[in-house]
Chain A
């Protein structure tokens, strides 16, 4: 069956994305969680722009009005073995606790 794949990691077609929008998932935040777009191994590198552009088209709004969803570190998966190797005492102590120290906390998109 021929398919236009929007998100290869989660196997989401353009059609499915549109149907999910039709089901009432009208924002990237919920579309992403419902269809899986952007949540797979590539973390959206392969599909986030494309999906957001499609959503703008579906909603008939300017693409710039579609907010970007959070992009969490790491940007490439790292083994727990490698991460555990980062337990460098000076570094761990130095890690700053940013609580309440700045006014630009992340906003919920």
Chain B
């Protein structure tokens, strides 16, 4: 992360930001957690996934609507603004809906004002300005654009591995012949490796005694070293696969734009997506998942010094998140899920580092003040509730296996909430090997195949 600063203009106000950070992180540090407002209820929304998956951070940036602030690096003179509801009556109406939403029938906009036709027409024309998000791009964004740079055709390759985490690196090493290994993070080893780097660089002793984490890190380092030393494997970080088309066409997106690639063998090892548990006001700005945290800290250098933070959930990612938050100088509270008592090493670490640790807790509700998270209510198995004041809460419950590309490649997916969500049918042992209708050899591995990170570590070390 560079030390130089740039100036961006947030709704006309100059805001200083570290060069290289994202718009979302810069605004958060500046005290702006609400990057957008939701379409129906006008609820404030803040950065959530930090990797372009949701819509919480859609902003108008340099005259272009619906730009993802979490993926956009700040630049000097950049103009950034929130998008409005589209009509003067938009915001008041959203308030009414938000406050009295329970009084409206579901889909009331289908059911109300249908009769007579004249009223229905009036309703439609009143509704229309409220539809859609973001206004048309301004001419400078498209008029003198010249020709878009042509995309690249990377041709046919032998093996494409998507996701450079433990599973992906393992598969890349095990594959025969040339391998292209892509990951949307900036580090071979994925965001977890980048997070570990951050922890060990600044406060290596945080991990002392946390053997599971140390083993995970050792595993990541070992695999990454082997991958990086392997001339057969071409690693492309900062590269996202953005879709699969018939019969075997994949599109990659990186800093240079789009590239088409076809592969004889594809391995889908894209890991998991942060979970989205359903509790009261689960959409408050400041509620994120561990994967988002890794990106916000390792990629954007988000400044959390002195902030009150909460990690709720279980497993590696809960502990790694806590360690990371600690390293970043935040005050850390950890709330473990029921059934997860925490091993003695974690208790000792919490003691040593001054984390406050609760066990047997689930999140009951989030509370916001001034459009940002103020506290989280925890419900414990014994019926009590605890309110934890915090600016940022990391929800590290069972993550969802990444599935969208697997579906597009023709994998039969089945819903298994126990394993986090949609998993490939037949991947009971955490790995699936099949052939797509177009004759492409396909492997689904790791968390994408429904393994928990803990099980994955065992699997790989076994």
Contacts and interface: CB of A to CB of B under 8 A. Distances in A.
A20 B105 CA distance: 9
Contacts of A104: 410, 437
Nearest to A11: B40
B127 to A, nearest CB: 14
Contact of A4 (B151, B279, B413): B279
B427 interface: no
Contact of A46 (B53, B110, B260): B53
Interface of B: 38-41, 43, 45, 48-49, 52-56, 58, 66, 98-102, 105-107, 110, 133, 142, 145, 148-151, 153, 240-247, 249, 251, 253, 257-258, 260, 273, 276, 278-283, 365, 400, 403-405, 407-408, 410, 413-417, 420-422, 437
Interface residues of A, number: 60
A60 interface: no
Interface in A69-101: 71-76, 78, 81-88, 90-91, 95-96, 98
Given A64-B416, A104-B437, A46 B151 contact: no
Interface in A40-76: 40-50, 52-54, 56, 63-64, 66, 68, 71-76
B281 A2 contact: yes
A102 interface: yes
B243 A76 contact: yes
A3 B281 CA distance: 5
Nearest to A55: B415
B404 A82 contact: no
Given A74-B251, A75-B243, A20 B107 contact: yes
B38 A8 contact: yes
B39 A10 contact: yes
B408 A75 contact: yes
Nearest to A4: B278
B257 A82 contact: yes
A107 B80 CA distance: 44
Given A3-B280, A52-B415, A86-B260, A41 B58 contact: yes
Contacts of A91: 153, 260
Nearest to B425: A64
B282 A76 contact: no
